[in-house]
Structure 1
Amino acid sequence: MADTINHMTQYLKKKGPILNKDAFVNAAKDVISNTQTVTQFIRVIANLSLDKQCTVELSLIIEQILTITNQLNIISSVNAVTPGCKSSDEILVKNAQNLFQTVLRGLHAAETACITGLKQPEPNSDDAEATALCFQWKKNLEIHRAQQTTNPETDDLGLRKTSLHTLAPSLAPQVNVKTTFK
């Protein structure tokens, strides 16, 4: 999703792999399609979360994602029939960026839900596949944290140095999306 949105931003500058309006609109539809998959994952985690607050937060984020997705769908449909309108292109990219930021918030909230605990899903279901991913991530996070605590290197104040460590495992890796169009 990040790459697609980056390509959409480059299109506004007349650069990048997107060469025409049709490809630009199709890129927005790809973002919508990818968002639906992530939303389904977040919904599974919300349904299986043991923490009521996590469930509420994930449900609110799902609603925000659905709202922004509907907006993006409408804007992309209008954008397809407005040739050469730079402002509508900018609105489309900004909406896609907002959607992406909300999806990232959802994945971070899903991480929190995974840490606080999940119910066991039905065997051989999509829920089981999603929770298996979460349990594997949580295991990797625990290993990473154990490795950090065994680090003997400290600074002058006796605080453990963390700059030498790799980033902690995440369901949502760090991604920087440019927010300027010019």
Structure 2
Amino acid sequence: MISGSKKEGSGAPLVLDGTRWIIVAGLVVGVVLGSAGNFFEPGGVKSILYALSAVGLITALVLLAVEHLSIGRRLTAGGLVLVALGETRVLNPFDVAGGEGSFAVGVLLYAPGLLMLAWSTWLPLWVRLVGAAAAAVFATYSLIYLGGGALDSRGPLVSVGYALFTITVVGWIIAVIRSDSTDRRNL
């Protein structure tokens, strides 16, 4: 059971019992395959790359959320879970019925998750700021699309959002790797 006295940013190190490299691998798979998917035409290969990217991110984010929850960082854990939930919605291919709407709802779920992570003290300030900017872009796209606006999920607004999101995920990778060296110094 988690003690009620632990607070966000309590300074407790992440445990990452055997999960550190699974988390890093999942985040790297998410960034690399998601970015690679941009170079293919819609359909087969692109859909597979995006799906594998989403699975990598979801796996990493859930494991990372569990790690943060285990040391009482509820805000961080909640943010990671919301981003993972959003990722499950964007997993749908765009070329199927409802794909665009599912995408809009998925990236809308990113927004509160990324904002919760922006309030978390686990990440360096630059990562938190870039994540907050991505949240604003995704929320703007989603609210315009869901409000009936004619926006394309492959348009410039989403491209900017994903560029910022990719930089944010790279920041998460760095934070997880650095937590390894911090944990070793604390031994």
When normalised by structure 2's length, the TM-score is 0.39
Query: Rg larger in 1 or in 2?
Result: 1
Higher relative contact order (CA 8 A, sep 6+): 1
| Greater percentage in helix | 2
